[in-house]
Amino acid sequence: MIDKPKDKVGHFLERFFGWFEKGKHAVYSKISAPKEKAENFKNAHPRLAATIVATICISAAGLVIVGYTTPKTVIVNIDNSTEVATTKYETTSMRVDSFIENHGIDYVYGQDIIDVQMYDGISDDMEINITKALQVPVTADGETVTVTSLPVTVGELLEELDITVGKDDIVEPAQEEMLTGGAHVYVRRVTTGYVSEEVSVGHKQVYAADYGMPIGETAVTQEGQDGIEKRTYLVTYIDGKEADRTLKETEILQEKKDRTVSYGMKILFGTPAGLQYKQKISGVKAVAYHYGGNPVGAYGLPCEYGTCAVDSSIIPLGSLLYIEGYGYAVANDVGTAIKGNVVDLYMERYGQCLTLGARKVNVYIIEYGNK
């Protein structure tokens, strides 16, 4: 605790009477020698001797009072770790402790650092440096405590608090950083462990060309089945909560099987037995095309397998056709390149277009369209 200064008047009178006694003794011893002359003078002129002594003491006391009341300049620097505040004071305080109390200096005894002693006397142009202690919240192991600390590194504070930091733990701010005002220290515990889980792996549908199957036909040649995998992860936890996982091992418990749909690539010629038709057009040039997204044709049907583009001046739109090597089709669309005896057949796969190429076929009109 800071020592409280004595009452100023009492303190002064105590020192004054001490000086008075010393001054009286000095005067009596120095007025004359030998001793018996001084005694004779004092006995013969007691009032004069007392007056001389009092005059000397009062003069000395006046000098002391002047020393007490003459203001002195003191500069105080207070460092709060983020900035240093400098203030100049004019004071008549005699000691550091009374100066701090009289001027309300921001100093906490036993916490802050000051570069002078409390009992040091005040001198003119004196400089006092104070380093403020910090109030620092520290969070570790699920608890938060606020501690008073001088500006040290984060690592030094944790060591002082006997908080152990593991090699994988995260410290914020970093241990080598200096504490500053407003800092909050976090120690985040990092642990790892292995976790295994079974996961269903979905199958998909795939397509396969079958050159022994007629164009236009499809068949499911393998049913699909989901697979099952056992996956082992290395999991990182921060303060008990999962923060990251890395796949380390995969074990297949059940193989997945994709659903396979085969589509025909074989071109057949000829007509079905007993085919009834209204008109036969021989030597028609057949080509093929494929669009993604199935756009709508001029007749109004989606462009898909079983539709074709024609020259509507020869084959009316909406006509039902049988085309050798393709099968039944609806005249659904037109095109700038489709002129004369030409049909453009829609295929489900680009590979089917390549298989057909361009060739001469017979086209049978089963029913005439109305466009």
Cβ neighbours of 168 (radius 10 Å): 12
Domain 194-263 has CATH 3.40.50.920: no
- Beta-carbon neighbour count of residue 27 at 10 Å? 19
Q: What is the pLDDT of residue 269?
A: 67
| Distance in angstroms (rounded) separating the CA atoms of residues 194 and 235 | 6
Identify the pLDDT of residue 33: 47
Tens digit of pLDDT for each residue in 304-344?
Answer: 888 999 999 999 999 999 998 888 889 999 999 999 999 99
In tens, the pLDDT along 223-282 reads: 999 999 999 999 999 999 999 999 999 999 999 999 998 877 676 667 777 888 999 999
Compute the distance between CA of residue 62 and CA of residue 60 in angstroms, rounded to an integer: 5
For residue 350, the number of C-alpha atoms closer than 13 Å in the C-beta half-sphere is 2
- Please tell us whether the domain made up of 72-131 is placed in CATH 1.10.10: no
The 10s digit of each residue's pLDDT in 150-179 is: 889 999 999 999 999 999 999 999 999 999
- Asked if residues 53 and 105 have their Cβ atoms less than 8 Å apart, the reply is no
DSSP string, 272-332: -TT---SEEEEEEEEEEE--TT--B-TTSSB--TTEEE--TTTS-TT-EEEETTTEEEEEE
pLDDT tens-digit readout, 201-218: 999 888 787 877 876 678
Angle at Cα 354 formed by Cα 353 and Cα 355, nearest 5°? Answer: 90
More confident residue, 259 or 21: 259
Class of domain 267-367: mainly beta
> Identity (one letter) of the amino acid at 126?
M
CA distance 348 to 292: 9
Higher-pLDDT residue of 342, 70: 342
The pTM assigned to this predicted structure is: 0.49
What is the C-alpha separation between 354 and 122, in angstroms, rounded? 106
